[in-house]
Amino acid sequence: MEILLARTPDEIAAAHERLAASAALGCDTETSGLNPSHGKLYSIQFSDGELGVLIPLSEGVEMGPFIDVLADDGTTKIFHNARFDLDFLSASGHTVRGVFDTMIAEKVLTRGANQSASLADTLYRYFAVDLDKTQRAKFTRNWNGVWTDALVDYALSDVFHLPRLMAEQKDWLEKLGLTEEFTRQQERLFSREIREKRER
């Protein structure tokens, strides 16, 4: 797995050139808290499963062409608990289309099995991946916004696995005849999100 902390326009352009042709990209954000009305968006991460790119928004870096990637229906953006990330991205003025939410997929697949749909537990079940979440505590409102190697590794540890996770989940959804149920659940979530935003 290759990691790129894209700080300069040239680095962002190079990352975009490598990822733009991907049919699906794992996506994640790091934030200062849980509420987009009060919190800050510190970064956005993308991965095709081989290259992981982190754009350090906290350092004043702009997303550049990745704004268009987010809005492109032709590229699937894979989030785990998409609503959280989309709320922060929307609050920052970004449009995201073409979303696959692996948390919703896992809830549909494990309904009634009394299993956690957290990303850590889900990745462990599928791939025996043990995520270390200890670095997450550093992302507070008082954080200095500078990305260390340890923080970059942490932030990209999730998104590397999302394309593979989506592929596995889609196979199981199809085998179990749950693809339409997943689509309904995801559409319901995003319809509610749009309605709530209109009411604010």
CATH no. for 2-199: 3.30.420.10
Only one residue has tokens 């704004």, namely 67
Going by pLDDT thresholds of 50, 70 and 90, the confidence category of residue 40 is: very high
Exposed, middle or buried by CB within 10 Å (0-12, 13-18, 19+), for 98? middle
List, for residues 59-103, the tens digit of each pLDDT value.
Answer: 999 999 999 999 999 999 999 999 999 999 999 999 999 999 999
List, for residues 133-162, the tens digit of each pLDDT value.
Answer: 888 888 888 899 999 999 999 999 989 999
**Lookup: tokens for 20:** 């733009």
Angle 103-104-110 (CA atoms, 0-180°, nearest 5)? 85
Percentage of residues of the chain with pLDDT beyond 70: 96
List, for residues 103-125, the tens digit of each pLDDT value.
Answer: 999 999 999 788 999 999 999 99
Going by pLDDT thresholds of 50, 70 and 90, the confidence category of residue 168 is: very high
User: What pLDDT was estimated at residue 15?
Assistant: 97
Rounded CA separation 70/29 (Å)? 13
User: What pLDDT was estimated at residue 37?
Assistant: 87
User: What pLDDT was estimated at residue 194?
Assistant: 53
User: What pLDDT was estimated at residue 166?
Assistant: 98
Amino acid at 54: L
The model's pTM: 0.93
Q: How much is the average pLDDT of 11-34?
A: 96
- For the chain, the structural domain boundaries read 2-199
Going by pLDDT thresholds of 50, 70 and 90, the confidence category of residue 193 is: low
Residues 55, 12 contacting (CB under 8 angstroms): yes
Residue 174 half-sphere exposure toward CB, CA atoms < 13 A:
6
User: What pLDDT was estimated at residue 197?
Assistant: 54
